[in-house]
Structure 1
C-alpha cells in the first residue's frame, strides 16, 4: 500500500491509497480518480515526505481510547458545526502554538533539530508551499477566533 497526497485544479487536497505507484498511474490514466469535493478528474500528486524504516519496537499495551479527531479524513465544509468544534478543540488541546514561527519550527522538527511534537501556528501560503516542497507534512486548518463561531 502507498498513500499519496492529491490535489485537483481547484486546490482541494485529499489522500489516495494505492496498491503501488503504478496503480496510481493506471487509475489516473484511466480517468478513475476524481476529487471528492468537486468531482474534477484532473488530479495531480503532491510531493510527500520520505518514509524512513525504523527499528522494530516491542509492542506496548494499547492505551485507553480517548476522544480525538474523526478517524477518516473529512473535508471541514462537510462536517457539522458540532463536529468541527470538536476537531478544533482537539487540535487546540493537543498541539503547541508556535505562532508566526510555525514554518521555522516545523523545519527544525523535520530536520531533528528540535524535539518531535505536534505544533500549530501561522504561515503564509508561500511558506506552506515551501514546507510541502521540502517534504515537510503540513495541514492548513483555519481556526477562527471563538467569537466568530456559530
Structure 2
C-alpha cells in the first residue's frame, strides 16, 4: 500500500491510499481519482515527506502479548471542522427528507421541471460535471450537494 498526498485543480489537498504506484497511475488515467471536496478528476500528486524509520536508536524489547498496548485513537478533528461536517450532514439530511431522489435521471428530470414538462418539485440525484455544466448553461438552477470524505468509504 502507498499513500499519496493529492491536490485537485481547485487547490483542495487530500490524501488517498493505493495498492501500488501503478494502481494510482491507472486509476488517475481512467478518471477514477477524484477530489472529495469538488469531485474534480483533475488531480495530481503533491510533494509529501516520506515516513522513514530511524536506525540509529536501539529497538525496545519485544512485548509479550499481554503487554501489547491498545492502538492509539484516531486523531480528533478540530472543533471548527467538526462543526462544519455536522452542518454539511444536516444539509444532506434535509435535502434527503424534503426532496425526491431521482438518481441518474437528475439531468432529465431537472430539464422537464424547468421546461414545464413535469410538476415543479425539489429533486436530487447524480449528474456528471459535464451534465451539471450543461444544465447551468441552459439556465437551470442546480447546486452540488456537499460530500464529506467519509461519505465515500
TM-score (norm 2): 0.43
Q: Please tell me whether Structure 1 or Structure 2 has the larger radius of gyration of its CA atoms.
A: 2
